[in-house]
Amino acid sequence: MTDTRVTLPEQGLDPDAVLAEMAALKEGDARWRAGRTFSLVYHQSDEHTALLQRAYALFLQENGLNPAAFRSLRKFETEVVSMVLDLLGGGPGSGGTLSSGGTESILLSVKAYRDHARATRPGLDRPEMVLPISAHPAFVKAAHYFDVTPVFIPLDPDYRANVAAAAAALSERTVLVVGSAPAYPHGVIDPIPELARLAAERGIGMHVDACLGGMLLPFLRELGHPVPPFDLRVPGVTSISADLHKYGFTAKGASTVLYRDLAMRQHQFFAYGEWPGGLFGSPTLAGTRPGGAMAAAWAAMRSLGRDGYLRSARVILDTTRALLEGIAAIPGLRVLGAPDMSVFAYTSDEVDILAVADQMEGRGWLVDRLQRPSAIHLMITPAHRDIVPAYLGDLRDAVAHVRAHPEAGQSGQAAMYGMLGRLPESEQGLVRDLILQHLDGTYR
């Protein structure tokens, strides 16, 4: 086997040459700016991105690990948390933390509930968390990291969590109930008040994952769009996560985790007093915390303001409606459930939707696929304002092509996804192994 390991250049290269090489590499990446992707990047406008770059650069080297050293960062963090608390119904006793992303917010909340249970329910071993199968895998990751057993509940035919199943899943070991606003796969909001009531009756916590919706739903509601209750205003909801680097339109590396009662946040923090290196306290999972992400979050929220987020929400809503109507008008296609926001999926009962997905990729769209049932997934941002006719035109062609060539599902990614999707429950270990092998190969 040839060794293709990259080593440090013996002599440092000219910075302009390095940057030119990077710019060239970028040419091969997903074309998010042109609205050809439906996940991963949330683009507001080029002017807004320029502001994020300047704010990030201003605090590129600063470290949020020590807020006494960087009072600027402490101000950014506390004010960003305060602004999100205000949007999501945080009362006087509430508070939260800025984290590096939705996953970290979720990990932190699960750790907080586990440690709260350890402190207040002596003798409790093997704590459990009740969550819908549509909840983000970050909860399963948290369960894995923190030794909390995930107890999954099924979805109703409308893809929202089944409340009766949640009630039946609760046990004397349960430390947390989870709901999403909305859940990533189908973009629907779980029955938060009902789930929160169950949790409250038991005296346990309820975390709402509003990583996607936290920075959009409040503005959609203000525009008159029907938004069911989902935030800290709902009795029994004890914490909520809301990402800033999604619909908050800030730079990557910013999310919030918010608690109804600051006492719960104490269980999130970590303190260690025995280290020769000094007294150590850390609010989140990370040690060093990039100041740029905090600065860009503050800059984004101050610069967009309520009116900016409302304008953006209007565009997102109108674009989503146009796509939903256009897709529903294509014979053979069907949107899953009744999406609450700007995230949705569609499938087909007549043609192989995974073959349609391959056809769309061939036409230059980066397609996200769902399983059980197979579907194509979209998340709409202002970058999609002008792509609706092009997308619908390509989609009509793609469906027609698959209708004319039903064997299309036997090749390409469709065949692989189709095969994996049909594997029985007992083969889930195999699927996991394949994913792990794929990860290993990706980072070779």
Ligand X SMILES: *Cc1c(COP(=O)(O)O)cnc(C)c1O
Residue numbers at the binding site for ligand X (CB under 6 A): 101-103, 136, 138, 180, 184, 209, 211-212, 243, 255
Instruction: Report in angstroms how near the CB of residue 73 gets to ligand X at its nearest.
Output: 20
Smaller CB separation from ligand X, 137 or 373: 137
Instruction: Report in angstroms how near the CB of residue 269 gets to ligand X at its nearest.
Output: 20
Instruction: Report in angstroms how near the CB of residue 276 gets to ligand X at its nearest.
Output: 34
Instruction: Report in angstroms how near the CB of residue 187 gets to ligand X at its nearest.
Output: 10
What does the block give as tokens for 15? 């910075």
Instruction: Report in angstroms how near the CB of residue 100 gets to ligand X at its nearest.
Output: 8
Angle value at C-alpha 29, between 25 and 21, nearest 5 degrees: 10
Query: Residue 246's Cα: distance from chain center in Å?
Result: 7
Residue 94 is given by DSSP the state: -
Smaller CB separation from ligand X, 177 or 333: 177
Smaller CB separation from ligand X, 91 or 137: 137
Core vs surface per residue 164-196: b (16+ CB within 10 A) or e: ebbbebbeebbbbbbbbbbbbbbbbbbbbbbbb
At residue 149, the 3 state secondary structure works out as strand
Smaller CB separation from ligand X, 137 or 364: 137
Smaller CB separation from ligand X, 58 or 285: 285
Count of alpha carbons within 13 angstroms of residue 429, beta-carbon side: 1
Smaller CB separation from ligand X, 300 or 355: 300
Smaller CB separation from ligand X, 209 or 340: 209
Instruction: Report in angstroms how near the CB of residue 109 gets to ligand X at its nearest.
Output: 11
Residue 290 is given by DSSP the state: B
d(CA 261, CA 284): 17
Burial group, residue 9, by CB count within 10 angstroms (0-12, 13-18, 19+): exposed
d(CA 247, CA 368): 18
At residue 170, the 3 state secondary structure works out as coil
Residue-by-residue DSSP string for 337-362:
S--SSSEEEEEESSS-HHHHHHHHHH
What does the block give as tokens for 76? 């950014």
- 357 close to 345: Cβ distance less than 8 angstroms: no
Q: Residue 319: which residues within 8 A CB-CB, separation 6 or more? A: 342, 380, 382, 384, 385, 388
**What amino acid occupies position 131?**
L
Angle value at C-alpha 313, between 309 and 317, nearest 5 degrees: 180
Smaller CB separation from ligand X, 312 or 348: 312
Instruction: Report in angstroms how near the CB of residue 180 gets to ligand X at its nearest.
Output: 5
Instruction: Report in angstroms how near the CB of residue 51 gets to ligand X at its nearest.
Output: 21
**What amino acid occupies position 193?**
P
Smaller CB separation from ligand X, 70 or 113: 113
Instruction: Report in angstroms how near the CB of residue 103 gets to ligand X at its nearest.
Output: 3
Instruction: Report in angstroms how near the CB of residue 293 gets to ligand X at its nearest.
Output: 12
Residue nearest to ligand X (CB): 102
d(CA 424, CA 210): 31
**What amino acid occupies position 364?**
G
Smaller CB separation from ligand X, 343 or 357: 343
